[in-house]
């Protein structure tokens, strides 16, 4: 009997999923040709779908090479045929999604069958007590239909995966998780779930149907007046606070997931990426006690609205602060008409979220005052502990602003200022790549200084032996150091900045010999300047990487003074040895810390 079109499409989906699984082990092209030999009638479709999947895989590789996975497309778990995609669109009911072979099949099928109805259209069908009338929203996690509930004679929104037979188990689990997460929440500004069910293996849930538009659609007309924006956002912030208190993190807050009813009431929807947490209060919601369908290293959310910890794939570090960040990003867009970060691609946007500061709101909209800008920027701080500790605190500041009262975002105690001064920046994670190298560097510098001092104390006065030792020796070590770092993985833009600082300090140290010669001074007479150069390098590192390097900077500045005092005294001139010891300590101690941190992370599988 001849194969029907539906049977052929189903066979294509199965064959293509198996091809994706087999290709994980390598020789993808060979496996494609082998699959085509076994299924010659599917050759054209398989080649189209395989090219699409390889494009997705290439983007995932680019994400990895950039040092942090990006939104867009990225690989799922090893050995899985699933490619995860967080939707870059901001429309309606959408959220982050997973792209499987079946999903790629839908894309290709849609292209091939233009002009005829979708293979999986459910409009006009009956799902339990519901008659499906029209599609009102579509996202990676499923489709939302307007449906009529016969028993209660009411219109509802029905969310489901129309092609459940071809969906991955993760898709189905996520839909069920979304239903359970939303069903346990009770707040006037969260779309309520009415019923959760399953028909023929296809999960679905019904919820209140809210005619109106999304905040995303409203922002297409431009920024909102500040007071209108804040008044609209406060109920949303309070709704998310209620979710946090119930142990649910949203993790995909964006304008497209905020519905605005016809009377102007905002509603939070789409808990498809929600994470359940065990918390006693909002401030403690974080890495402990998490129950999630995601794995460490996966990126969740939409690039323009996700927090830096989400952009970095640090799923175990995502807590209340991530939702606070997204609320700040939404308020930024409400005030300016654009998200805080806009890149040419999802990957560019993710890198901006990780590395750059948002533009000043008042530069984009002069109608926004400095206090409201301060509230938004506090939400958008990259370190989590610098954001609002809870949505309650954020809502309180927004209400204070509405009432022309002082806001807490401007208040800081001395202890808070000192904590911020000495804390790590969001770039500090790169130091794990340098830990072991810094430990080796400390030994090289110590050895170099001890040899130099020994030559000096033994009466070597010629300049060329010292020049050879420092210029050639340091130059060779620099080449070895940089080559070893290259082998450890891709180098980020921040690491290049640090490398330029280090290279500049090496050039400056070697140039001291030329300056001494031109000025007619004895060799090593400018050696105390070595401490000044090192202190300046650590001062720059403190501003870029971690405030703790202020300590190393002070130590090296102090060392230069002691070196000068020793050189001016009648004591044996061991100033270069002192510099070597102090340099070794300032490199070895943080190097050991970050080396251990890297080892600990690897043991935990991060």
Per-residue pLDDT of 331-376, as tens digits, reads: 999 999 999 998 887 778 888 888 788 999 999 999 999 999 999 9
Quote the pLDDT of residue 24: 53
Question: Is-catalytic flag, 252?
Answer: yes
What is the value of pTM for the model shown?
A: 0.61
Is the pLDDT at 168 greater than 60, yes or no?
no
User: pLDDT tens digits for 405-447?
Assistant: 988 877 656 666 676 677 777 677 778 888 999 999 999 999 9
Quote the pLDDT of residue 6: 56
Residues 6 or more apart whose CB falls under 8 angstroms from that of 350 comprise: 63, 66, 68, 69, 70, 71, 299, 303, 306, 311, 343
Residues 6 or more apart whose CB falls under 8 angstroms from that of 462 comprise: 523
92: left (phi over 0), alpha (psi -120 to 50) or beta: left
Please count the residues of the chain.
606
User: CA 602 to CA 606: how far, in whole Å?
Assistant: 6
Catalytic residue of the set 17, 45, 252, 573: 252
pLDDT band per the 50, 70, 90 thresholds, residue 292: very low
In this structure, are residues 560 and 529 in contact, taking their beta carbons and an 8 Å threshold?
A: yes
Per DSSP, the residues of 339-393 read -S---SSHHHHHHHHHH-PPPPHHHH-TTS-HHHHHHHHHHT-SSGGGS-SSHHH
Is the pLDDT at 239 greater than 70, yes or no?
yes
* Residue 188 CB-density burial (10 A; 0-12 exposed, 13-18 middle, 19+ buried): exposed
pLDDT band per the 50, 70, 90 thresholds, residue 597: confident
Task: Give the chain's count of helices (H) and strands (E).
Answer: 21, 15
Q: What is the mean pLDDT of residues 529-535?
A: 96
- Mean pLDDT of the chain, nearest integer: 78
Quote the pLDDT of residue 374: 93
DSSP 3-state of 3: coil
Pairs from 127-133 (Cβ < 8 Å, separation ≥ 24): 127/158, 127/160, 127/199, 127/202, 127/204, 128/197, 128/199, 128/204, 130/156, 130/158, 130/206, 132/158
Quote the pLDDT of residue 142: 74
Higher per-residue pLDDT: 332 or 279:
332
Q: Domain 212-419: state its class.
A: mainly alpha
Is the pLDDT at 558 greater than 90, yes or no?
yes
User: CA 353 to CA 351: how far, in whole Å?
Assistant: 5
Residue ranges of the domains in the chain? 212-419, 428-603
- Range of 64-68, 123-127, 415-419, 422-426 with top mean pLDDT: 123-127
């Amino acid at each position: 009997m001849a194969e029907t079109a539906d049977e052929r499409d189903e066979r294509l989906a199965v064959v293509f999923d198996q091809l994706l699984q087999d290709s994980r082990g390598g020789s993808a092209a060979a496996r494609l040709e082998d699959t085509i030999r076994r299924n010659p009638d599917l050759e054209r479709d398989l080649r189209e779908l395989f090219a699409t999947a390889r494009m997705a895989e290439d983007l995932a590789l680019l994400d990895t090479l950039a040092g942090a996975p990006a939104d867009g497309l990225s690989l799922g778990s090893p050995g899985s045929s699933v490619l995860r995609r967080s939707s870059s669109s901001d429309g309606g009911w959408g959220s982050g999604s997973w792209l499987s072979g079946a999903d790629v099949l839908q894309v290709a099928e849609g292209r091939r069958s233009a002009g005829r109805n979708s293979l999986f259209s459910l409009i006009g069908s009956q799902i339990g007590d519901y008659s499906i009338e029209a599609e009102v929203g579509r996202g990676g996690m499923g489709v939302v239909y307007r449906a009529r509930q016969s028993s209660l004679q009411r219109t509802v929104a029905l969310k489901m995966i129309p092609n459940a037979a071809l969906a991955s188990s993760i898709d189905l689990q996520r839909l069920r998780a979304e239903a359970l997460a939303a069903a346990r929440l009770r707040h006037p500004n969260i779309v309520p779930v009415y019923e959760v069910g399953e028909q023929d293996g296809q999960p679905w849930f019904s919820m209140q149907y809210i005619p109106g538009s999304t905040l995303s659609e409203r922002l297409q007309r431009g920024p909102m007046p500040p007071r209108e924006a804040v008044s609209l956002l406060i109920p949303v912030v309070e709704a998310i606070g209620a979710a946090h208190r119930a142990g649910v993190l949203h993790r995909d807050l964006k304008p497209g997931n905020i519905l605005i009813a016809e009377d102007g009431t905002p509603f939070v929807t789409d808990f498809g990426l929600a994470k359940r947490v065990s918390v006693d209060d909002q401030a403690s919601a974080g890495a402990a006690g998490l129950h999630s369908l995601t794995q460490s290293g996966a990126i969740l959310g939409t690039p323009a609205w996700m927090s830096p910890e989400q952009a970095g794939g640090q799923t175990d570090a995502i807590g209340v602060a991530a939702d606070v960040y997204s609320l700040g990003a939404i308020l930024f867009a409400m005030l300016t008409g654009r998200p805080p970060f806009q890149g040419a691609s999802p990957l560019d946007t993710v890198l901006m979220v990780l590395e750059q500061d948002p533009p000043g709101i008042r530069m984009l909209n002069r109608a926004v005052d400095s206090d409201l800008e301060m509230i938004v920027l506090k939400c958008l701080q990259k370190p989590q502990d610098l954001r609002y500790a809870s949505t309650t605190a954020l809502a309180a500041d927004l209400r204070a602003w509405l009432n022309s009262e002082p806001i807490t975002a401007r208040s800081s105690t001395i202890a808070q200022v000192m904590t911020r001064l000495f804390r790590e920046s969001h770039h500090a994670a790169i130091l794990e790549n340098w830990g072991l190298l810094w430990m080796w560097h400390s030994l090289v510098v110590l050895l170099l200084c001890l040899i130099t001092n020994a030559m000096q104390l033994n009466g070597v006065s010629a300049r060329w032996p010292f020049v050879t030792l420092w210029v050639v020796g340091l130059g060779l070590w620099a080449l070895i150091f940089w080559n070893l770092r290259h082998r450890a993985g891709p180098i980020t833009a921040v690491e290049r900045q640090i490398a330029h600082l280090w290279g500049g300090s090496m050039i400056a140290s070697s140039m001291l010999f030329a300056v001494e010669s031109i000025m007619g001074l004895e060799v090593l007479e400018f050696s105390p300047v070595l401490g000044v150069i090192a202190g300046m390098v650590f001062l720059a590192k403190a501003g870029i990487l971690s405030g703790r390097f202020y300590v190393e900077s002070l130590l090296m500045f102090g060392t230069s003074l002691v070196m000068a005092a020793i050189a001016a005294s009648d004591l044996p001139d061991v100033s270069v040895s002192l510099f070597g010891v102090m340099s070794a300590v300032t490199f070895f101690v943080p190097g050991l810390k970050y080396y251990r941190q890297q080892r600990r992370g690897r043991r935990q599988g991060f």
